């Protein structure tokens, strides 16, 4: 069935997949800006908070920024599901850096701090702690992250922390009990999604990556300002719904190429 759809629409493979390597991501301003801020936070060994609604491209921006880091100078610790309690986060850090988590949460916190500092001091690598879906973090977990950044009597931090999550994360860290963490977050970015022009470019880009060079979708989708996930669903749905996709396909043409441009950006997703 999928093969038939792919062949019918002149594709080499299913488009809108999640497996695009960083070098083939779509370049748009929002993604570029988020990735640039993550890169800056890493070089400054500080805490960054990237927020955005579901599907705005937070994880992709992280992937893009990480791909640009020198692998010999950085150790990436990625936590994709932080719903593991304070101990889960600390144990993940220790294990990722080759340690064996000790018993007792207080002792584990000291151990996590020590392995992070050791990675920087002994191996000369900057640990980059990335917590995706960070809106799921409880106050105690956020506070434990803040405690890990206390180093050398607060004069320096040996690692960078990237918190990425839905907009509720922004509200959580504003709570009085987390004031100390809030004050340490020096890089922030709220992802807004793509402009209509970028949306059109995004669709074209995914189709091109799948081998399609001519237009496939109607202006209804092309002109919409939607989140990436919604788009992915809409585009896949339209493609397999025979009549609609057929009429869009037969319309053909290259109207897109003349009209669509990308916004100037400080840093492109790559």
Ligand X SMILES: Nc1ncnc2c1ncn2[C@@H]1O[C@H](COP(=O)(O)OP(=O)(O)OP(=O)(O)O)[C@@H](O)[C@H]1O
- Tell me the number of residues near ligand X by CB under 6 A: 18
Burial class (CB in 10 A: 0-12, 13-18, 19+), 105: middle
**Residue 26's binding partner out of Mg ion, ligand X, none, with CB under 5 to 8 Å set by partner kind:** ligand X
The residue among 184 and 204 lying less far from ligand X, judged by its C-beta, is 204
Shortest distance in whole angstroms from residue 225 CB to Mg ion: 20
The residue among 59 and 230 lying less far from Mg ion, judged by its C-beta, is 59
Is 234 near Mg ion (CB under 5 A)? no
Is 204 near ligand X (CB under 6 A)? no
CA distance 136 to 134: 5
Contact track, ligand X, 130-169, x by CB under 6 A: ------------------------------------x---
Shortest distance in whole angstroms from residue 58 CB to ligand X: 4
Q: How far is CA 116 from the centre of its chain?
A: 23
**Residue 67's binding partner out of ligand X, Mg ion, none, with CB under 5 to 8 Å set by partner kind:** none
Cβ proximity of 149 and 46 under 8 Å? no
Is 59 near Mg ion (CB under 5 A)? yes
Which runs of E-coded beta strand occur in the chain? 47-51, 74-79, 126-131, 160-165, 185-190
Select the residue interacting with ligand X from 35, 49, 60, 79 (CB under 6 A). Answer: 60
Reported for 110-116, long-range contacts at CB under 8 A and 24+ positions apart, including other chains, are 112/148, 113/147, 113/148, 113/150, 113/151, 116/148, 116/158, 116/159
Binding site for Mg ion (CB under 5 A): 58-59
Binding site for ligand X (CB under 6 A): 18, 20, 25-26, 31, 52, 54-60, 166, 228-229, 232, 269
């Amino acid at each position: 069935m999928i093969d038939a759809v792919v062949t019918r629409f002149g594709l080499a493979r299913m488009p809108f997949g999640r497996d695009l390597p960083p070098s083939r991501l779509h370049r748009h301003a929002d993604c570029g800006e988020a990735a640039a801020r993550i890169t800056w936070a890493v070089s400054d060994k500080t805490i960054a908070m990237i927020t955005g609604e579901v599907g705005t491209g937070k994880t992709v921006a992280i992937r893009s920024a990480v791909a640009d880091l020198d692998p010999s100078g950085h150790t990436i610790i990625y936590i994709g599901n932080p719903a593991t309690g304070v101990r889960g986060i600390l144990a993940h850090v220790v294990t990722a850096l080759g340690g064996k988590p000790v018993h007792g949460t207080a002792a584990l916190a000291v151990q996590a701090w020590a392995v992070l500092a050791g990675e920087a001091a002994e191996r000369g690598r900057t640990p980059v702690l990335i917590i995706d879906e960070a809106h799921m973090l409880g106050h105690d977990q956020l506070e434990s992250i803040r405690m890990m950044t206390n180093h050398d009597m607060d004069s320096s931090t040996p690692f960078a922390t990237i918190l990425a999550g839905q907009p509720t994360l922004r509200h959580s860290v504003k709570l009085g009990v987390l004031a100390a963490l809030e004050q340490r977050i020096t890089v922030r970015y709220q992802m807004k999604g793509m402009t209509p022009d970028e949306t059109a470019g995004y669709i074209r880009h995914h189709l091109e990556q799948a081998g399609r060079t001519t237009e496939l979708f109607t202006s209804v989708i092309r002109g919409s300002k939607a989140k990436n996930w919604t788009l992915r669903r809409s585009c896949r749905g339209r493609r397999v719904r025979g009549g609609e996709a057929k009429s869009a396909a037969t319309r053909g043409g290259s109207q897109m190429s003349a009209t669509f441009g990308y916004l100037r950006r400080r840093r492109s997703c790559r």
